[in-house]
Amino acid sequence: MTYEAGQELPPLERRIGLADMIAYAGATWDWYRLHYDPEFVARQKLPAPVVDGQVFGALLVEQIQDWLGPRCFVHKLDFSFKALVFAEETVRCEGTVTEVGDDYLVLEQRVVVVGADGGVDRVAAGPAHARVLLGTPDGPGATSGTHSGTHSASGEAGAK
């Protein structure tokens, strides 16, 4: 597969229901009531339980890995929060290739809330930037599945 700047990533769309949010709370050991408790949410004067924004990072990685396959490694990812997302809303991850190297790609992504017409209602997180290594499935810090006990984190020269 060849890549070029300007190329769009296949979008990833996900409706986030209350049951998904409760599952996420359990999976992250984060049971903050803002994410599922209607009475707590009402006291905060919010219309519905709030999706934990950190899940957007997980969805951005999923979008990358679904596209590039299991031998890519997301080395760096950053994102800024822009708007709250509420239970039962649908989000969409969008992305574009901004730089192509011999063994890496740089991507710009964002997470949007999908409106009733399928368009963008608002940006939930963005801009996001990812640096993805190609052909490095276990990451640059891996030691072939064994622990030497002496390895230190290897920074990428020229990393974003």
Partner 1 sequence: MTLLTDDIRALVGRRKVYTAPEEFGAASGRYFGLAIGDHNPLYSDPEYARAQGLSGVTAPPTLICETNQYANLPLTPDGDAGHNWGIEIAGTRKVRGGNSYTFHRRIRPEDVITATWEIADATEKTTRSGSEMLIITSRATYTDQHGEVLAENEETIIFVSLEPGASGAGA
Q: Does position 44 bind partner 1 by CB under 8 A?
A: no
* Complex with partner 1: residue 25 or 100, whichever CB lies closer: 25
Burial of 70 (0-12, 13-18, 19+ CB in 10 A): exposed
Q: Does position 24 bind partner 1 by CB under 8 A?
A: yes
CB contact at 8 A, 114 and 90? yes
User: Alpha-carbon distance 3 to 55, whole Å?
Assistant: 27
Is the sign of the CA dihedral 20, 119, 8, 77 positive or negative?
negative
Please report how close the Cβ of residue 17 comes to partner 1 at its closest, in angstroms: 10
Please report how close the Cβ of residue 7 comes to partner 1 at its closest, in angstroms: 22
Q: Does position 140 bind partner 1 by CB under 8 A?
A: yes
Q: Does position 65 bind partner 1 by CB under 8 A?
A: yes
Query: How crowded is residue 26: how many other Cβ atoms within 10 Å of its Cβ?
Result: 10
* Complex with partner 1: residue 6 or 70, whichever CB lies closer: 70
Buried (b) or exposed (e) across 92-116, using 16+ Cβ within 10 A? bbbbebbeeeeebbbbbbbbbbbee
* Closest to 51 in 3D by CA, of 12, 24, 82, 78: 24
Please report how close the Cβ of residue 58 comes to partner 1 at its closest, in angstroms: 5
Q: Does position 87 bind partner 1 by CB under 8 A?
A: no
Please report how close the Cβ of residue 8 comes to partner 1 at its closest, in angstroms: 21
For 33, which DSSP code? Answer: G
Chosen residue from 5, 47, 99, 143 binding partner 1 by CB under 8 A: 143
Instruction: Report the interface residues with partner 1, using CB under 8 A.
Output: 14, 20, 23-34, 37, 40, 52-55, 57-59, 61-62, 65-66, 70-71, 73-81, 125, 137-143, 145-149, 151-154, 159
